[in-house]
């Protein structure tokens, strides 16, 4: 080795150390610190999901579950979340015990995931999913509500904070694909468990807003579900949730049916995630241009297009190109949904509003998408199922636009 290399490394290390120190000094400013905590949490939280979620259906197949059983398993979590999410977020608003509820949820999810590989039969798996879903139900809504509160007057920059989740998913999806290829599908659950434990530590830096009077769970949910603007947006959330379920639950099976190796599955997931980065970073401009409701419409249209493209080609290179379209789907929807819920939440019901939005998307919508998708798999390929999903999403979007035209114009909050 040339003698000059060690000194070069020392110089590089010094520069790196100085840069790190300068970053840490900058982070002593309170506004920056308040952004680092949620950014880091989203990184770990979505990294946990990237470790195991895309491979869960493959794991079900591996341990011998049928297509119908898989449909039931993919539907049970959203159905439980349908009840658990608004109840637990409503309880958090009513008691103001945000940190305690979030900490117990993260710790419980970490413990349960660590033991998931020991479950091999249907009934124990169903019981596991019920417990896991109840524990995890309030986490995302509480994190989103805390983040929006911590951003204060810079709430339109939520997307830049949520970018941490995009980066976490990208890194974890790539690594998880390689780890699974070497150690098997069970390793994905252990990796996710570790991410949840780290997220538990980081979540202690959240600051939860306490503004507004305390409200009961029942009155809070009733207020949201009887508001016409909310009902229309929740219809969009429901249909988008169906698309989420069809994509998240069956995409790796779609790739497997196309003959694509599991190591490339991680790459495909990473491509979609990396494409989100510029959109998340500039999401404040999109929000200013289209408003929250416009972003929800755009996301649903892109989801419909994405499923159509998957249905017409199963070539690896073409699929990787199609994955880039995700930039205008998932991140755009999340920014629009979180912004709409926060801006249109009644006083004291911030977490409840986020929970109801999550309930409709990842509860009812995901349950319908998971169950219907599993049943369709009994007599068609994922590719054919995606063609049907594309048509359903497009038709639903047209129905929403018609209903919106007949209703009152959107308010200032989009």
pLDDT in tens, 153-211: 788 888 888 888 888 988 887 788 788 888 888 889 999 999 999 999 999 988 887 55
Q: How many CB atoms lie within 10 A of CB 201?
A: 13
Question: Is-contact 404 228, C-beta < 8 A?
Answer: no
Alpha carbon of 136 to those of 118, 225, 330: distances in Å?
20, 23, 20
How far apart are alpha carbons 268 and 22 in whole angstroms? 36
> Is residue 156 within 8 Å of residue 336, measured between CB atoms?
no
* Helix 262-274, helix 158-183: angle, nearest 10: 170
Distance CA 177, CA 326 (A): 19
- 3-state class (DSSP) for residue 376: helix
Cα–Cα dist 157/163, whole Å: 10
Q: Which ranges constitute the DSSP H helices of 2-121?
A: 4-26, 30-52, 56-62, 67-95, 98-115
Helices 366-376 and 67-95: angle between axes, nearest 10 degrees: 180
Would you state the structure tokens that stand for residue 176, as one six-digit string? 């998880």
pLDDT in tens, 16-44: 444 533 443 344 444 566 678 899 999 99
pTM metric for this prediction: 0.72
Q: Which of 207, 203, 222, 157 is nearest to 352 (CA)?
A: 222
* Cβ–Cβ < 8 Å for 349, 53: no
Residue written as token pair 């900490």: 103
- Residue 138 Cα to chain centre, angstroms: 13
- CATH numeric code, 34-406: 1.20.1250.20
d(CA 145, CA 201): 18
CA distance 48 to 404: 37
pLDDT (tens digit, 0 to 9) for every residue of the chain, 414 residues total? Answer: 334 443 343 333 445 444 533 443 344 444 566 678 899 999 999 999 989 988 888 889 888 888 788 878 877 887 888 788 888 988 888 888 899 999 999 999 999 999 999 998 999 999 999 999 999 999 998 999 888 888 877 888 888 888 888 889 888 877 887 888 888 888 899 999 999 999 999 999 888 875 555 656 666 677 777 778 888 999 999 999 999 888 888 888 889 888 888 778 878 877 887 888 888 888 888 888 888 999 999 999 999 999 999 999 888 888 888 889 888 888 899 889 989 988 888 777 778 888 888 888 887 888 888 788 878 887 889 999 999 999 999 999 999 999 888 765 554 455
How far apart are the C-alpha atoms of 120 and 139, rounded to whole Å?
A: 27
By three-state DSSP, how is residue 326 classified? Answer: helix
Distance separating the N- and C-terminal Cα atoms of the chain: 62
């Amino acid at each position: 080795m040339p003698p000059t290399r060690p000194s070069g490394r020392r110089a590089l290390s010094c520069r790196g150390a100085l840069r790190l120190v300068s970053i840490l000094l900058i982070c002593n400013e309170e506004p920056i610190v308040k952004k680092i905590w949620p950014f880091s949490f989203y990184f770990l939280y979505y990294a946990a999901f990237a470790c195991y979620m895309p491979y869960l259906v493959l794991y079900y197949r591996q341990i011998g579950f049928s297509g119908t059983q898989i449909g039931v398993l993919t539907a049970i979590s959203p159905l439980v979340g349908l009840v658990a999410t608004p109840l637990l977020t409503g309880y958090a608003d009513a008691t103001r015990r945000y940190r305690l509820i979030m900490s117990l949820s993260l710790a419980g999810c970490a413990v349960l995931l660590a033991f998931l590989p020991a479950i091999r039969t249907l009934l124990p798996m169903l019981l596991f999913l019920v417990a896991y879903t109840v524990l995890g139900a309030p986490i995302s809504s509480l994190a989103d509500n805390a983040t929006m509160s911590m951003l204060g007057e810079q709430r339109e920059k939520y997307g830049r904070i949520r970018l941490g989740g995009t980066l976490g998913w990208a890194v974890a999806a790539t690594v998880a694909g390689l780890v699974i290829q070497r150690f098997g599908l069970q390793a994905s659950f252990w990796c996710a468990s570790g991410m949840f434990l780290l997220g538990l530590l980081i979540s202690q830096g959240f600051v939860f807003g306490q503004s507004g009077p305390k409200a009961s769970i029942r009155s809070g949910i009733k207020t949201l579900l009887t508001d016409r603007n909310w009902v229309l947006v929740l219809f969009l959330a429901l249909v988008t949730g169906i698309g989420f379920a069809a994509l998240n639950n069956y995409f790796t099976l779609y790739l497997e049916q196309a003959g694509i190796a599991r190591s490339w599955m991680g790459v495909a997931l990473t491509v979609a995630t990396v494409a989100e980065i510029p959109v998340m970073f500039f999401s404040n401009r999109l929000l200013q241009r289209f408003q929250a409701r416009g972003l929800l419409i755009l996301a649903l249209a892109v989801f419909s297009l994405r499923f159509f493209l998957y249905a017409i080609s199963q070539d690896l290179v073409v699929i990787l190109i199609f994955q880039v379209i995700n930039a205008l789907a998932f991140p755009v929807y999340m920014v629009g949904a979180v912004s709409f819920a926060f801006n249109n939440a009644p006083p004291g019901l911030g977490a409840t509003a986020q929970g109801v939005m999550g309930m409709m998307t990842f509860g009812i919508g995901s349950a319908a998408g998971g169950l219907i998708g599993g049943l369709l798999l009994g007599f068609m390929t994922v590719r054919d199922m995606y063609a049907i999903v594309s048509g359903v999403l497009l038709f639903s979007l047209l129905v929403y636009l018609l209903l919106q035209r007949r209703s009152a114009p959107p308010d200032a909050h989009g």
